[in-house]
Amino acid sequence: MHKFIIILILNILFNAISAYCHIIKVQIDNNILPYSNNEMIYQNIGATSILHNNLQTNTSKGNYKSNLRSIVDLRLQNINDPNTILHNKKHKISDIVVQPSKRKAYILGPRNPGKTTWAWCNILKGAEIGRLITNKDKIVICKFYFYIRETNCDSILYKLKFFNIKNQMPDSIINNEEILFKSKEKKGWESICLFNYNIIINHDFIVTLEIVNSWGNVKEKSIHLSKLRNRGISYKRQSSHIPWLKFAGEMSYKLEVSKL
């Protein structure tokens, strides 16, 4: 009787140890999942799976259905290959709302257009005019505005540029990309959005408009821009190949910016 009890206990221990000693490979859709955590439910026994044939699978917690298996279930499988298969599980998440920065925007330049006019008559391609912008903050440029008093053109293609200053004159260009835009505005404020250009400046600079091309059924195309007479400094040149000329007065250019 005692021998029977001893043999029964040894048999139970042998079966338990055999079950715990199986290498349980965890797979995702039949691919080995390395470093997965495996544990005996309600027991303080666990293990971590190992890499198999250097196969690596990128996973993140919560992407797969859990698969709870009993030792009995595993033993009913092929004793040499008691794998646990995990399958993909889709999760529906709540909407993600992307909101713009709460940095406050403000205006650099005149809020109202000047009462005098700068005229481009018989428009030359490459003619350029700009103004000095005084700035002491680190800013990102959001929008550019300029005021058109009148034009006889159907549309005009402009190139917008931002310059560093050297010896009180325009020097190297700040913006990394060419900024081209076409305007059909006949009168009033015209603007261009500059958010995508990521123009960040932390000093005084010069902003200019260059005429690239113009269209219209008139012999001499012209445009009249607004200008403030008794303040500020502006710059002009007939093409990019000749020196800049500085003159008194301030073109009615303004910028919407945000402080960084």
pLDDT digits 0-9 by tens, 219-236: 889 999 999 987 889 999
Residue 9 CA: distances (Å) to CA of 1, 2, 21, 221: 13, 11, 18, 106
Return the pLDDT at 50: 43
Q: Which domains does the chain have, with CATH numbers?
A: 19-86 (no CATH), 105-259 (2.60.120)
Q: How many CA atoms lie within 13 A of 132 on its CB side?
A: 20
Q: What is the spatial distance between Cα 82 and Cα 75, in angstroms, rounded to a whole number?
A: 7
pLDDT in tens, 41-79: 444 444 444 444 433 344 444 455 555 555 455 555 554
Which pLDDT score is estimated for 62?
A: 46
Residue 171 confidence (pLDDT)? 96
pLDDT for residue 25 is more than 90: no
pLDDT-based confidence at residue 17 (cuts at 50, 70, 90)? very low
Rounded-to-integer distance, Cα 191 and Cα 210, Å? 15
The verdict on pTM exceeding 0.85 is no
Question: Model confidence over 101-110: pLDDT tens digits?
Answer: 667 899 999 8
- For 72-138, list the strands marked E by DSSP: 84-86, 105-108, 116-121, 128-133
CA dihedral 198, 205, 183, 119 (to 10 degrees): 180
Give pLDDT tens digits for 80-92. 555 555 556 666 6
> So what's the pLDDT on residue 77?
52
DSSP count for the chain of H helices, then E strands: 2, 18
Could you tell me which residue, 244 or 8, shows the higher pLDDT? 244
Mean pLDDT rounded to a whole number for the chain: 77
* Separation between Cα atoms, residue 254 and residue 260, nearest integer Å: 19
Which tens digits make up the pLDDT trace of 120-175? Answer: 888 778 899 999 999 999 999 999 999 999 999 999 999 999 999 999 999 999 99
